[in-house]
Structure 1
Amino acid sequence: MATSLTPGAARTLATTTKTPPKTASTTPRWLLEILEWRDLPGGVYRRTGTVRRTIARRGSSQPGVQVTAGHTGEPEIPGMYVEYGHPPSEYELTAAQTIMRVHRRVGDLYNDPYDQYGEQLRLTLDALAERKELDLARALLQAPPARHRVTAQGPPTPLDLDGLICKQTSPRYLLAHPRAIAAFGRECNRFGVRPDEVEFAGRRVLGWRGLPFLPCDKLPIAADHTTSILVVRPGERRQGVVGLRPPESPVVRELGTSRQAVTEYLVSEYYGVAVLIPNAVCALDGVQVVRTSTH
């Protein structure tokens, strides 16, 4: 027989501390973090290229700029001009949209301690951001064939990563599915090589050759358990990859309230990506993410 107030009865007068809604589908979205974003008031981004290289390169279809250097006397100086590529490449924005519904009674009565509209909008925007990164990752995988290479034996070895990095000038970041990063770690152990630890966004992350190795689960894994690893150079000044968006995004528009007292909101996210020169994104394909009998 109880001689004092029971804990169960006492809890009826106690206040519970609640968390905002949590979702397991949220990821760090490192691809969106590393991109430099350009606002597009007109909704279109135009990229103008040239038909000449600064210096002629063996194997390139583009001629080099004609210059004379290191000469003495009075040689004839070559004349030239740099022709712009025509027509220029244009990039339009992609739309990701959904309709968010909130019952008026919910908003009127159940807004303490969390605003129901605000929480619904936060979760909706989070879902749109995940879709945004998915679409941009797929776009980066469409690099020209010359910017793709294949692993030597399947699992991503240090030599494979070195070959990938060498395909790009001024590489900045490596992006891969978390399982591909784990496979690379296994190969480093097999070769007796220790990967780097580099500083990124205030934390220590796995790296290779000084480049942060960032996880991105939006890079797909095929049915044969293979995926791709990307090396990316972001930034307009670096002639790299540029994220595109309107000056105001995301956009929330109230559509009205139905006769059932449900208010609808159109939530829109507009985005795109531009690759300014082909080697701004290079890919290592055929990356095996499962253990094999020989590894």
Structure 2
Amino acid sequence: MSDGLLQRSVTTSVARNLANTTKTSPKMMSITPRWLLSLLPWVQVDGGTYRVNRTKVELSKAARIGVDVSGGVASFAPESLRGVPLFSGLPDGVVSRMASRFKTEEVSLGNKLIVEGEDRSKFFIIAQGQVEVLSKGIHGSDLRIALLSDGEYFGESDLVLDNRPSDVTVRTTTPCVLVTLSRKDLDGVLEESGNLREDFNRAIKEHMDLRSTVNRYGERNIDLVSGFAENVEIPETFVDYSSSPREYSLSSVQTVVRVHTRVSDLYNGPFNQLEEQMRLTIEGIKERQEWELINNKKFGLINSVDPAMRISTRYGAPTPDDLDELLALVWKKPAFFLAHPKAIAAFERECTWRGVPPVTMNLFGTPVISWRGVPLVPCDKLEMKSRYQSNQWFGTTSILLVRVGEADQGVVGLHQAGIPGEIMPSLSARLMGLDSLGVASYLLTLYFSCAVLTDDALGVLENVEVGYYHDYQHRMSTPK
């Protein structure tokens, strides 16, 4: 064998058996910044239950009506008509008979359902689709008064008021499925029995009388007097409280971590095996906590938004106008927007198209964009409703706008620090014991919840389409 083929030294592959490699702790791709957990102020709940006391709401609030469309026919539960404030006091007999007279109508895009200046006498419930409410401004231009979507309604007052010209135009912006009740059909219901019309008129009058005594939030007005007039009797007043305030019980996320004693005894360096198992599991618990704070059916932010604080995008893609509209709803000290990264990218594209790039600000050492001084915080826990099974990152989503803090009547996180076995605030770890195979089990438990103190602390922009891209024209040199 030539000198060039002789082994002159120990090989690197053998030498590694006597050396320690430099290694990292285990990494997990599902870990996110979890901005929501950092931005929410956390309230200590010593009793395990948090009660939100509010002033009494005298006038029932509007609620969306759930309409099911099957085989081209739309239907809804009769009692859901009481979600219309004007009909909230109607007797059961009137409500059930009214519901049976509704008809299903399919309307194409651009159809005018109500025309300004013409008589109107029909009540509409939107089963599917979207309509816009327009009116002429003082300068003669069309002004968009509102944008209504699934479950919302309009024209209810036209059933009880005398015929008069409409002061708005209602036009469909998408193909729609509507459920309608005409004044003629309502009269047919009320003429079935003399008592029905009497009960109907009495309930409507009581509602109108009550509406004159409350503010726009449905709370009874506080009697006050102001001015410099003398010999004026000072009114007496008081503020009533809700007799059934909402209570939030702490929810929990739990799991059992299992580590074999042989692993923790023999392979515990340079990283502690139990600590790494605990660390990664806690990361998963925290990720689930943020998901629950947004999507939980009982206390999640998405499901806690009041119907009056829900708006839809005008064209699908989130535009600066849409976010301005959301800011107009949550105008009392808005803290941050919460949006899916794809929704933020879609908004940035719309800003670029309009030539109004959003300002970048620093949040916990990370650059994020802002709109009107309010940061847009990315969060992948806002779910995407996708029509494409192969790609769940395209479809529609929602953008939240949040006001936070007890002092500002906002949104607060709830937890209980100081629990037995605590290793983090409101997170405990307890040894459950060893089994016959030498496997140790540790119970991890996290207690938490969140509360919306007033309805105007939380708003949502719905039907946010994230897959729209603009076609920019570029100069391209053609080869000669």
Asked if TM exceeds 0.5, the reply is: yes
Cα deviation code 1:65-110 (max 9, x no counterpart) = 2222233323111111111111121000111111110101111111
Aligned mate of 1:284, from 455, 461, 465: 461
2:245 corresponds to: 88
Cα deviation for residue 63 of structure 1 reads 2.6
1:28 corresponds to: 33
TM-score, normalised with respect to structure 1: 0.94
**Distance of 1:127 and 1:280 partners within structure 2:** 29
**Distance of 2:460 and 2:26 partners within structure 1:** 37
1:128-143 to 2 correspondences below 5 Å: 128-138=285-295, 139-142=300-303, 143=305
| Kept after mapping to 2: 8 A contact 1:198/1:211 | no
- Could you tell me which runs of 5 or more consecutive residues in structure 1 were left unpaired when the two chains were aligned: none
C-alpha change, 1:294 and 1:228, in structure 2 (3 Å) is farther
- Could you tell me which runs of 5 or more consecutive residues in structure 2 were left unpaired when the two chains were aligned: 59-212, 388-394, 420-425, 473-480
1:51-130 to 2 correspondences below 5 Å: 51=56, 59-130=216-287
Q: Which amino acid aligns with 2:452?
A: V
Cα deviation code 1:108-155 (max 9, x no counterpart) = 111111111111111111111011000101110011111100000000
Cα deviation code 1:243-288 (max 9, x no counterpart) = 0111232111111100000011111111101000011110000000
SS of the equivalent of 1:141 reads helix
**Distance of 2:217 and 2:48 partners within structure 1:** 33
**Distance of 1:12 and 1:145 partners within structure 2:** 66
**1:226 counterpart = 2:396:** yes
| Kept after mapping to 1: 8 A contact 2:57/2:218 | no
**1:16 counterpart = 2:21:** yes
**Distance of 2:463 and 2:9 partners within structure 1:** 69
**Distance of 1:281 and 1:215 partners within structure 2:** 17
SS of the equivalent of 1:11 reads helix
2:50 corresponds to: 45
Q: Which amino acid aligns with 1:252?
A: A
**Distance of 2:438 and 2:12 partners within structure 1:** 41
Q: CA RMSD in A?
A: 1.9
| Kept after mapping to 2: 8 A contact 1:176/1:229 | yes
TM-score, normalised with respect to structure 2: 0.59
**Distance of 1:52 and 1:137 partners within structure 2:** 26
Equivalenced residues, count: 293
| Kept after mapping to 1: 8 A contact 2:405/2:411 | yes
Aligned mate of 2:307, from 124, 145, 150: 145
Aligned mate of 1:252, from 405, 409, 429: 429
1:243 corresponds to: 413
**Distance of 1:85 and 1:262 partners within structure 2:** 53
Cα deviation for residue 292 of structure 1 reads 5.7
Structure possessing the higher radius of gyration over alpha carbons: 2
Higher relative CO (Cα under 8 Å, sequence separation at least 6) belongs to 1
Using the aligned pairs only, state the percent identity. 43
